[in-house]
Structure formats: structure tokens, C-alpha cells
Amino acid sequence: MSGTIDDELWSAVGDPIRRRMLDLLLTGGGGTATTLSEHLPITRQAVAKHLGVLDRAGLVHGTLSGRERRYQVDQAQLARAVAQLSSVGAAWDARLQRIKQIAEAIQRSQQR
């Protein structure tokens, strides 16, 4: 596997509410804690806390818009997350292929 895995990044996207928030921000072109809370089963204050986690991981960035912050997804950081996930997936595919080869070899040896 090439590169390193960013645990803070994966911790941030490990939560289903935060993944849904990213989806909403991507499809809506951004949003505030208030607008996001209208589409989620949690309070505005909980949304704000989740946005803080996403912000610290670099997945979103907020800018002041009146009395609230408007958040946008950081496309470069999201692309980095996708690349890491692809790398992890490829590594596991290789491991599983090796396990399959070992199991088939054992099975062939037992059939003799």
C-alpha cells in the first residue's frame, strides 16, 4: 500500500451522520449548520459539532456568512480520502487473493 492513512480523516468520515453531511454539502453546494440540521435527525448544535470534526480533518472549510458559518467541502481533501480508500481496498484485495490461493493449495493437497 502506498502512502499513509490519515486516522483523523477516516475517523471523521467513519460516522454516518458526517458522511450524510458531506453528501448534503456536495449536492447543495455548501450549507450552514442550520440548513443542514433541516435534513438530519439531530439538532443544529450537534450539526455544528460534527462540522467542527470535519473542519479539523480538512474535509470542509467554513466562512462567515452573516451570523453563521457557511461550509464547503474541500475537494482536494475529499480526493485524498478517495485515494486512500482505493489504496486500502487494493491492499485488501491482494491479501484476500493470497488467502484464496493458500486455501486452494491446501484443498488440492488434501484431495491427493
H, E, C per residue of the chain: CCCCCCHHHHHHHCCHHHHHHHHHHHHHCCECHHHHHCCCCCCHHHHHHHHHHHHHCCCEEEEEECCEEEEEECHHHHHHHHHHHHHHHHHHHHHHHHHHHHHHHHHHHHHC
Over residues 36-73, the pLDDT tens digits come to 999 999 999 999 999 999 999 999 999 998 999 999 99
Q: Given this model, what pLDDT does residue 1 score? A: 40
Q: Given this model, what pLDDT does residue 5 score? A: 62
Q: Given this model, what pLDDT does residue 75 score? A: 92
Q: Given this model, what pLDDT does residue 3 score? A: 52
Higher-pLDDT residue of 106, 3: 106
Percent of the chain with pLDDT over 70: 96
Mean pLDDT of 2-22: 84
Look up cell 450524510; give the residue: 20
Instruction: Work out the pLDDT band at 2, boundaries 50, 70, 90.
Output: very low
Task: Indicate the pTM of the whole model.
Answer: 0.75
Q: Class of the 7-111 domain? A: mainly alpha
Higher-pLDDT residue of 15, 80: 15
CA angle 47, 16, 12 (to 5 degrees): 75
